[in-house]
Amino acid sequence: MLKQLSRATAVLAIVAMPLFAQEDTRPTLAVLPFVNSAIGAANDELAPLSKGIADLLLFELAQNTGIRIVERENLVNILREQDLGQNGRVDDATAARIGRLLGAKHMITGSFVTDRSGTMVITLKTIDSETGRIAWTHMDRDKTENFMALVAKVGQAANRGLQLPALTPAARQNSEARNTRQARVPFQAVMMYSRAISAQDAGNRDEALTLFSQVIDRFPDFEDARTAKARLEGASR
């Protein structure tokens, strides 16, 4: 593992270069894919959520302009290069080493599972990349029909638990308005979005764009889907 991560240094010098282009003392976070703890048929059915939840949480955390976010594509490049954590299963020591290479102090990971009543349980764990220790843990739950509200709640809990800078009044107002609109997005849309993210990471750009378009057409309140599609279109130009 150490040898693999050493080989990644050359790649990271390019991938992470934008992160160090300017002096920026804001706390830096990265979000790893979440572990799918569902069992049986539900495990396969919910597999895309491993990356979908992580991406949606990034959008939520990015509402705070007082922090810096490692773009998901940068992290994906490292995980793909080293064949690490494609299912979200990265041990704490490896997460800390990746965090140090990316310049991210806080490495957020977690898991999710649903029960027979349709309740989704999300757990978060944050690794301090400087010490390698677990800095903070959290668990929250809600019905899958309230999934987007649950992600927003988890993101807000991370801001408080990690003692990150408070949102500015303007950022808080924008975030609240965004979350109110996206709270209407159903779980079906979240699954479609997650499949699009998985297709994108697998290199299937056309499939990802098609899925993003389908989500946007059917669920126009899903702002994060529009942003993700625009991000993918811009990356290929």
pLDDT digits (tens, 9 = 90+) for 119-143: 999 999 999 999 999 999 999 999 9
Are 223 and 237 in a shared domain? yes
pLDDT score of 198 more than 70? yes
Domain with 231 in it: 185-237
Are 58 and 145 in a shared domain? yes
pTM score: 0.86
| Model pLDDT, residue 101 | 86
β-strands 28-31, 134-143: how paired?
Answer: unpaired
Are 22 and 129 in a shared domain? yes
Query: Predicted confidence band at 18 (pLDDT cuts at 50, 70, 90)?
Result: very low
SS3 128: strand
The answer to whether the beta carbons of residues 108 and 32 sit under 8 Å apart is yes
Are 215 and 178 in a shared domain? no
- pLDDT: is 24 or 27 the higher one? 27
Mean pLDDT over each residue of the chain, to the nearest integer: 88
pLDDT score of 154 more than 90? yes
Query: Predicted confidence band at 88 (pLDDT cuts at 50, 70, 90)?
Result: low
Q: Which of 183, 201, 219 is the last residue of a domain?
A: 183
Q: Span 149-170, mean pLDDT?
A: 95
> What DSSP character marks residue 119?
E
Are 116 and 49 in a shared domain? yes
| pLDDT, tens digit, 9 for 90 and up, residues 48-61 | 999 999 999 999 99
pLDDT score of 5 more than 90? no
Are 194 and 78 in a shared domain? no
Are 137 and 237 in a shared domain? no
| Model pLDDT, residue 236 | 59
Are 9 and 119 in a shared domain? yes
Q: Which of 138, 165, 183 is the last residue of a domain?
A: 183
| Model pLDDT, residue 42 | 87
Are 82 and 196 in a shared domain? no
Are 69 and 118 in a shared domain? yes
Q: Please report, for the domain that includes residue 66, its CATH number.
A: 3.40.50.10070
The answer to whether the beta carbons of residues 32 and 58 sit under 8 Å apart is no
Cβ-Cβ contacts under 8 Å for 17 (sequence gap 6 or more): none
Are 173 and 203 in a shared domain? no
Q: Which of 143, 166, 183 is the last residue of a domain?
A: 183
pLDDT score of 10 more than 80? no
pLDDT score of 23 more than 90? no
Total of domains in the chain: 2
Are 78 and 169 in a shared domain? yes
